[in-house]
Amino acid sequence: MLASVKSSPRLTELFDTKGASRPMRHGCRPRRLRREAPPPGGLGLTGLAGLAGLAGLAGLAGLAALVGLAGCSTGGPVAPPMTSTARAAVAKSPPPAVADESPDPSETCELPDPARGTAATPLTDGGGWLDLPTYDGSNQPTHLNVQFDPAGAFGHRNWMTMTPYPFGDDSKENPSVLVSDDGLDWRQPEGLENPVSGPPPDVEAGGHYSDGYLLTRPEGFELWFRYNPAKPGAGRPNNSASVLYRMTSPDGIVWSDKQVVFDGGGPSYMSPSLIAEAGLYRLWYSNYGGELVYTESPDLASWAEPQAVELELGDGYVPWHQEIVRTDRGYEALVLGYKKTAAGATGYALFHTRSDDGLRFDPGRLIDPQAVDRRLAGHHFYKSSLVKACGAYRLYLAVVSPEGAYKAFYKQVKVEDLATLFG
């Protein structure tokens, strides 16, 4: 059974006393996904080799600037939709290829010993607390996102972005990067100074960064994150105005300046989750209306019309934060939900789900903190990360203690044992 938790200050400020969500300035809503069957071969996005191919995006890291996209009309796209030629290529493309269930023989399938872990990070039944260093010294991280590269092409097999969030302090929530060779013992990479994003220019007035996502590419890394400017005179962020930033790096150490992807009056762009495949950036984000939204772009300048993704979490929960990853089962996701009630917003719960096309997800299955580990009794989850490799799920769980401290917990289970975590 889930522990009873208080409403988050960030959640509470988005709702008035009658539980009605505050209107977003832009007034633009994603269109609802029509419920007819998908075209033959699903969306065919992974078969879009003829459109561009992943190699065609390699030059994007060298772009001098991105087009800033601001505003949209009610019911319209976030940005100009893709061309008819690109849409035709999508419609004609073959079905997505599904990876083989067996591990890639090129992978170095060395997982942590679930009964021992390491000297610094001991494990019991595959679970244990993680010590994640933060630039502010609090070691209270949240919004974990882990990328696993078995070949260690950039010097380490595991890369993470996270944000310090000591007892919910927005001013420290600046995206940072850590590395690990075993997935358990994490450190700041040599030559890098966190936070990668730096602080917002108006942090003293309430502006803040948040919600980092680290995208790995053959040519390097991309760090995506959100910015809410300060609300004049309020001393807190203006949650009706969001900017989505992107930074690039060839090695994870030296980073470009921030580049604007979406600017100002658009949707909330909460918890961006990205996959680069078939010549496309595939982007999911959530909004304050409790919707999971999807869009895509071949070039970061033109974006497809946003669509509300089909996802039911049950028991009154709606999406708040999420991470979507590509696996042998299609698209798997960890979705953090909250309850939107007549009295306002209450509680958090973490769900696992999957999809064939990234647009129509199976009903979410609740992950029970005490089923994960008895040490999590009384804690609740926040935005967490999932790595599936070498026949196992590795969950990097952001948790909040009864006292409001933010922590990180690791759980490793065999693929066939994932269901043991569900409540």
349-390 per-position pLDDT tens digit? 999 999 999 999 999 999 999 999 999 999 999 999 999 999
Model confidence at 193, pLDDT cuts 50, 70, 90, reads: very high
- Tokens 């009295």 locate to 343
User: What are the pLDDT digits (tens) for 204-246?
Assistant: 999 999 999 999 999 999 999 999 999 999 999 998 899 999 9
- Tokens 């969950």 locate to 395
Report the distance separating Cα 24 and Cα 31, nearest Å: 16
pTM: 0.79
Sheet hosting strand 307-308, strand order edge to edge: 31-32, 307-308, 292-297, 280-286, 270-277
Report the distance separating Cα 391 and Cα 415, nearest Å: 6
Residue type (1 letter), 208: H
Ranges of each domain in the chain: 9-421
Show Cβ contacts of residue 105 under 8 Å, excluding neighbours closer than 6 positions: none
DSSP 70: B
- Tokens 């991470």 locate to 323
Question: Exposed, middle or buried: residue 81 (CB in 10 Å: 0-12, 13-18, 19+)?
Answer: middle
Instruction: Provide the CATH number for the domain formed by 9-421 in this structure.
Output: 2.115.10.20
pLDDT of 2 higher than 70: no
pLDDT of 346 higher than 50: yes
Which residues does residue 177 pair with via DSSP β-bridges, in sequence order? 161
